[in-house]
Structure 1
Amino acid sequence: MKMIKSPKLLVNAFAVVLILSIVRQITGATDLTSVGTASAALLLSVPIVLAGLGGLFSERSGVVNIGLEGMMIMGAWAGGMIGTKHGPWVGLIAAVVFGATGALLHAIATITFGVDHVVSGVAINIIAAGLVRYMSTILYKSGAWLGPSQSPDVASIGMNGVPVLSGGTYFGWKSPDLLGSLAEKHWFFISDLAAILRGLTGDLSYVTMIAMIFVPLSVFVLWKTSFGLRLRSAGEAPTAAESLGVNVYAMKYAGVMISGALAGLGGGFLAIVAANHYQENQVAGRGYIGLAALLFGNYRPGGILMGAGLFGFADALQLRDSASIHALILLIVIVLVFLVVRDLRKGKLLKAALTLGFAGLSLWYFLAVDELPGQLVTMTPYITTLLVMAVASQRLRMPAADGIPYRRGGLR
């Protein structure tokens, strides 16, 4: 089965690049497949991937974690505050610790005291936002910070590329940049593919490389180790797992703590890598988007990566120019038409009709408007993510005991 899935995934990836190339040719929006767009999309995707993976560990253990947003806020603040004084790597470690601390509060409330998971998560989000603002104000009044909403700058972390393919410098040797050379040829499809690969593999922060490793690592830990089996059993059938000797409380605590650590790292990434300082409202809902990516990916790391990539790509385009966002609308039409065909083949006539309606409305807007208003350009990443996730959603297979309070011995 795994041997079959890999070629299929590769074919789908090539199909996506081919569609992007066609749309670029039709609209003339060169930024659609540029190196800069691919690089920005990866940078913007990483915090969402980390938040989504955090939600995965928590929910696989049976605990709903709406508090990912607050844990990311705590991680971003800690990364900026500690990183300013002790360097970026120590700042990232602090971000992990602060995120895990927020998760510990959530775990105590939900696992030990049986508080409703959603109520606890919302409380974590509210407390985190207020707490970091209060601490920032104290630091500002003491003269350590220049303002109550922004930390001093943090030193940058090194960057590099994949040798031979994407340039980079290794021990004084400057590597060739084959993908960059191909991208500059402006050949149909080939240069588009090379530009996207160059953006994804060149000038990468070392933290980005580490963050991407967490995707296959999560697959291995959750599905290939005894720890992962025990953690998933705590979210599927905790009473049965307890009868087989699994410490369900410990597994749930472990899942929530790992969740907070990953979310905190995502917040630290925003403060240290995506920017070079902490700024108030820097997280900007990415914890919630991480949860949306978790649902889009049907509680699987690969699906989370795809959902985060979708938002990152749309967000990167709105940072380039309005022409790219206008081209994105045509891309949405093509994707929706594909989904209509898929739903018709599966016999889902109502869903196909609704999706076709969205496709027709999007095509009309693409043809009727030459330049999008600035407000709509800013909103487009969120609208695109909501639309595609809604119509492409599959039947969710959430853990059976997710969000259900657990008491030892099966007592409620």
Structure 2
Amino acid sequence: MIQPLVYKFGGASIKDANAIKNIGALVKKRWTTGLVMVVSAAGDTTDRLEHLIDLALKQQSFDKELIQLLDYHEDICRGLFHPGHGVFARVDNQFAQLRRTLENLSLKADGDFFYDQVIGFGELISTRIIQEYLCELGCACLWQDARELVRTDSQTKMAKVDWALTMQYCRRALFPKLEKFPVVTQGFIGTDLLGNTTTLGREGSDFTAAIMGVSLGASSVTIWKDVAGILNGDPDIFPEAVKFEYLDFEEAAEMTYYGAKVIHPKTIKPLAKHGIPLYVKSFLNPDAAGTVIGSFGQAPRIPITIFKSKLTLIELRILDLSMIGGFHFELIYEVAKKMNWRIQLVQASAAHIAVLIDDMPSTEEQLARPFREVFKVKSKSGLKMITVKNPTVAERSHYRQVAEKLYLEQNGPELIQWVYEESSPEA
């Protein structure tokens, strides 16, 4: 039985016709049966679809924006295909379906459900274009709807994968095809047991690549980015940032959890569990080594600096002093699970607990309500966090000075974190 290989291409890699030609050349050079290509929406399509969703939910006209999005995709096609090519009809058909979905009043009763039914059109359209273009290059391949493969629960915007069913569907649908042809499919989307489209969270295509890799027992997963690999800091802030040649799964997982944007946070865990190496390589320089993430054990202890924005700090102070020291972590995590909060940090003293979460579209009252019986509650949104792993004396001194309006500090031998006002300087 063939052992598949998974490639993932993000929106930046297919943002226009020239970018897609570059990807075509990259893939053609590495063409092989057993190749699964997971593709995101082109360019800023997802952002534009979110704007269309917002207009539709507000009962406002979206004709202009929809036509502009269609023109964008047809312009890509005009740069790749002759005028009479069948891809134009396929793209037009996808946009007709998109319009009908946007106009479907029955879907709009639940805004988050409506979001899931609309937002994946970007991936459905881009993969049609990619598959047709690769065939034009003489690289015969098949288009596959990811909703026939990735099975999830019905949670909106952040569905949980049913791994057993997904593995079953992936193997049944893909192994016979991959013996003869590579396959192009979508990131980000799946389907629930009722047949409704679900989504895996923004930037979830990396996670889809990991799902495919694990489900098919892939030899490796490669994420093609516009960077040379994984660096120890944002190159826009740190021009002298160092690229990792290799990185252990644990170190990479911690980096993504604390806010490093190179890889989606959910990507690492399933690959680590199954021992499937993850390569991060540049589509601009595909022959360069990039970074490989795997089971390397103790890697070199290079300082890693990560900035994460749009955070909310919830401060809980105990009302009943007889309950001091109980900490009530169980309550906090029960609330976080129910409210779908992503906790970044928890710090506790005898009478006080600080909980840092990703910003949520919630009022102060909504944040405080679950805790009012036990705690006095304050919250502060719009905060930023600096995380430094493997810090040296220089990092400890420098960033402590940068974080002028400090709300919280967590200090350990291998990790320091500072939470401060968003407006504070970065470096």
Q: Give yes or no for TM over 0.5.
A: no
Higher relative strand content: 2
TM-score by length of 1: 0.26
Higher relative contact order (CA 8 A, sep 6+): 1
Higher relative helix content: 1
TM-score by length of 2: 0.25
